[in-house]
Chains A and B, each alone.
Chain A
Amino acid sequence: MAAAGEANGGTGKLEFSLDVPFPSSRDATIALRSLSPDKEPRKGGISKLITVSGSTLSVRWSADESRILRVSVSSFLDHLSLVMETMEMFGPPVAV
């Protein structure tokens, strides 16, 4: 997993990015579709974008405050690990 945090001088927003490799594009897409439907609990101050490219799941956060960013990233990692554990225990996905 590659991660980087930086303050964007222009907008003043904090940004964080995460790239997660999966064994296949199908696996990454399953994770994406499990993790993306729920909205952030906080109404404002944070947004994230989850995408898949090849077999990599990418997440990009943009937040006003570091505390809010930390909570969201931490939460996401918990959720991601649950999804991955589920895929490990009940996978591989059925043939389409």
Chain B
Amino acid sequence: MTVVIGFEGSANKIGIGIIRDGEVLSNPRRTYITPPGQGFLPSDTARHHRAFILTVLKEALEQAGLKPADIDCVAYTKGPGMGAPLVTVALVARTVAQLWGKPLLGVNHCIGHIEMGRLITKANNPTVLYVSGGNTQVIAYSERRYRIFGETIDIAVGNCLDRFARVIKISNDPSPGYNIEQMAKKGSQYVELPYTVKGMDVSFSGILSYIEETLFSMLVEITERAMAHCGSQEVLIVGGVGCNLRLQEMMGVMCKERGAKLFATDERFCIDNGAMIAQAGWEMFRSGQVTELEDSWITQRYRTDEVEVTWRD
């Protein structure tokens, strides 16, 4: 039996989750929500996380009904993400790891999303579309690496949607993307916009302020291209933008045409959360990885393919 606690705070969510052998025992989370028209800045976000992190940690333990002695490993987000919030979270993770005498594990945030998606959906070896405010990548596993087949060459699709929401002053509660989706459901006019796919990659900065159809079509195209390249029959969507039902619907149509299966998780797990870091940490820990304190520095840049995936064949 292996119990891992995971700390996540690379963007505006602070989440701490506990996993025991594939079971999510607790996964509390707080979101820093800014007024309409404003995005979240690193120092304010770090201040928010600082204010809540110890409370959320207590909640995670209480809701799981566990004591620190029951934990086997402390996992935290090493990167990528915003510097100041990452540091705030890493400080607490390092401190409790030492207080409790437990090994530490620095986890790649993107891999956290992937491993949580695999756990929840039980997809076998899917092509992964990872879409969030900070990241847009098409990923496939091959020989001990999560290979990046395609990605945004400028901004993440979620960033594009968030900025659009800011321009038209949509509420950021619960998230700008959610509110765009609700408004889009009532829309009936399709406006043709620049569609920018370059081979395996996409570009969003040229079409900032736009409607979902075009953005999501671009993502479906590059996902399909990666699937064709890998001969894959499964698609897994992870990341906050993955909550979007229209994206899932459009991806579903493409999958049906190819006879492939589509997997996605609900908002508990596609939005940043602590348990996903715990899950990736669980996999890494069980395959013998540990992070020494001196190497536990956080990093704003951390590519998904930099990590050796020792837990898969």
Contacts and interface: CB of A to CB of B under 8 A. Distances in A.
Co-complex (A, B): yes
A86 B101 contact: no
B98 A34 contact: yes
Contacts, number: 68
Interface in A38-70: 38-39, 41
Contacts of B39: none
B298 interface: yes
B54 A89 contact: yes
B257 interface: no
A92 B293 CA distance: 19
A12 to B, nearest CB: 29
Interface size classification for chain B: 20 to 34
Given A33-B94, A78-B50, A82-B92, A87 B296 contact: no
Contact of B293 (A33, A78, A96): A33
Chain B at the A interface: SS class: helix
B101 A94 contact: yes
B294 interface: yes
A77 B66 CA distance: 32
A31 to B, nearest CB: 8
B293 A90 contact: no
Contacts of A36: 294
Contacts of A91: 99
A90 B68 contact: yes
A37 B100 contact: no
A41 B300 CA distance: 10
Given A41-B83, A82-B92, A90-B100, 20 more contacts: A30-B99, A33-B294, A34-B293, A37-B94, A37-B293, A37-B294, A38-B87, A38-B298, A79-B87, A79-B91, A82-B91, A85-B54, A87-B99, A89-B54, A89-B58, A91-B99, A92-B99, A94-B100, A94-B101, A96-B101
7 contacts: A33-B98, A34-B95, A39-B297, A83-B95, A87-B95, A89-B58, A91-B99
